[in-house]
Structure 1
């Protein structure tokens, strides 16, 4: 197969997982193949990444797809000499101490480890996760870590008496062992590609980008990637909202500057001059359903909206199941989503009786206790699937809330096709909302926040 044909398949797979690649970018990538060629695999990878990937959030997806389609390039091998497991661990410790991440020796160690312990079965349509587990279990990462700590302590015992250098050293070891794990994973992928072909393996390994992961059904293993995506996403949105707020509106006419400019046109004010715009920042109030069915969605949405608090004069966050509690201070002092969720669970926030969603009681409680704080520049954001467990929906309470604020939006994490089915009453609540938005993933959440301010 030609290099251009392989590039075609790589681009097709990138598009299949959601990485946008335009025709012009594909042309640029093809042009980059000429001077780079196959001799240097890392240079080839860098050239394709520069031309095809526009967001750092997509680099991990690119790395995986590149390894599938170009994994066989530049696979130099050491001699086939046998290494026992203790020798593999000792050599790995030495390469980590020397800072030789991704070295030829580490690749050879990964190859021997996979040969001996992965137990790859030809013809099986698997992604290789179990093979990776078997290989890393045989390596015994804890044993390698302990050896590195012991050797470092022997070299510089005084430094390890202080907990901070020890913690920094352990973090560096974890990072380097993670890099070796990627070498083992890449070796397994190469074996799978050799057995079943690149296209078949790519389909098996295909995973949605973090921004496209369904927040209602996200697996535990996908949560770290989502958390890593939230912070850069919030910074990008904040910068975009600042720019839009500065340039989206004109200020009042500046009479003095207008008259001065008219002197050059015989006193005729041909061009109006304006004061710099100083629009008042809106206030944001978030009401989030944290019942089991939508808890992951609520936590990420709360974190994102609160991360954008600099774009609002005030942000207040409330959580509810069948009761309602304010968590503004809790979110502000917590480091991440998991810490917020843990504290909410520990304190039993949002629960009044049986812990089954009761939107009607939550909305009525908010109206009774907090409606006086709403004003014309307040934007109320309700997060939830509007499934009431057949409790009274009290849509009139939402109508009163809507009448007391400037805007009211509802973000529903369910597919639009499921709305108003079963115990969903989103249609009754929609009558009081400026807009009801399907918001199943971070991509849709980002699109909504960009419109919000």
Structure 2
């Protein structure tokens, strides 16, 4: 029992290095739970740790792999960890991520002078290019951490659009007769100067609708970092996630600390990594939120693979109404990473006619291309796939 506490702390560090949000609270909760189960019962031991340290269903695979490797299950499907051998490329992404996070997985530190030079320098060109092209699903724990840092540096500028309001401006293009008359009253009605004004411009609202169903779980985890970065970089950003139902996470993502924000999201999200009802979610958004958040030429980013378990019932009608309610509806689809992609699923066929752009989103390059697209003037030639 005396060795349990340090081993539990080390296991928590492994989970954190593997990309799971495990902190002191989860570790203390696990220690408390283990005091109520027999330590000789491996099934109860695993269940107690998973119930107290994991908050999302899509983290179960990483946790189970880490548990088998750390607590040395001889029947584990993944070979025991050997720090002298790099993890084979054929391992599943979760196994590679845990293998990288295990103690001893990191190479020995370089000499002091070389380490300082590495800390001061950015990623090598070849490493950066590989990271930019690498699929989010295939990234190791270290690569995911670097990708999240790169995402936090992304800026998402949107071209400013004119509003109905005006502000005083001595060099403005329009004369302000009311302000001119008010100023003249102080001089007995004599007009000495002509007041001028300029129309106020500001970026349009940005609405993010992200699919967090089972088929999107691997991408939703990293794309939530993109949503968090965007929400903390600009004003008038409204974030929603959906699986079998629609959930507004705008307030939760306002926290500057991403882990605190995602912890809040996990507490209000009832259907992470579950089923998908895209048509029902979009219809609910149109009914409850469209008039509140889609004014002044809003831009909508719909992040989903289009695989609707409900048979795409009502999806075409909901997507058409959403398209007419916003200035640009951009569909971000990770399935476009496949060269032979064909719109065969009913949900994809229902969505395609009603989106203005259909773009891939599976790596850093695709996110940077999205930023470049949103920074460019909108095209008015109609919808494109």
TM-score by length of structure 1 reads: 0.44
Contact 1:390 1:423 in 2 (8 A): no
Match of 1:375 in 2: 295
Q: How big is the shift at 1:215?
A: 2.2
Q: How big is the shift at 1:347?
A: 3.7
Are 2:315 and 1:387 equivalent residues in the alignment?
no
Instruction: Return the structure number with greater strand share.
Output: 2
User: RCO higher in 1 or 2 (8 Å CA, sep ≥ 6)?
Assistant: 2
CA 1:426–1:392: 2 relative to 1, 3 Å = closer
CA 1:355–1:311: 2 relative to 1, 3 Å = closer
Match of 2:281 in 1: 362
Instruction: Return the structure number with greater helix share.
Output: 1
Name stretches of at least 5 consecutive residues in structure 2 with no aligned partner.
1-81, 91-95, 115-125, 162-168, 176-196, 376-385
Q: 1:281 aligns with which of 190, 203, 206?
A: 203
Matches within 5 A, 1:55-70: none
CA 1:278–1:356: 2 relative to 1, 3 Å = same
Q: How big is the shift at 1:372?
A: 1.9
Deviations 1:359-379 (A, max 9, x none): 111111111211221224111
C-alpha separation between the residues in 1 aligned to 2:332 and 2:148?
20
Contact 1:323 1:361 in 2 (8 A): yes
C-alpha separation between the residues in 2 aligned to 1:182 and 1:346?
42
TM-score by length of structure 2 reads: 0.51
C-alpha separation between the residues in 2 aligned to 1:378 and 1:119?
53
C-alpha separation between the residues in 1 aligned to 2:295 and 2:347?
27
CA 1:220–1:321: 2 relative to 1, 3 Å = farther
C-alpha separation between the residues in 2 aligned to 1:277 and 1:422?
47
Q: CA RMSD in A?
A: 4.3
C-alpha separation between the residues in 2 aligned to 1:255 and 1:448?
36
Residue correspondences, number: 240
Q: How big is the shift at 1:386?
A: 0.5
Q: How big is the shift at 1:355?
A: 2.5
Contact 1:283 1:312 in 2 (8 A): no
Deviations 1:202-252 (A, max 9, x none): xxx98963322212443444321211211223xxx25xx38x759xxxx99
C-alpha separation between the residues in 2 aligned to 1:310 and 1:356?
29
Structure with greater Cα Rg: 1
Match of 1:23 in 2: none
Q: How big is the shift at 1:451?
A: 2.0
C-alpha separation between the residues in 1 aligned to 2:110 and 2:341?
42
Matches within 5 A, 1:205-244: 209-233=130-154, 237-238=155-156, 241=157
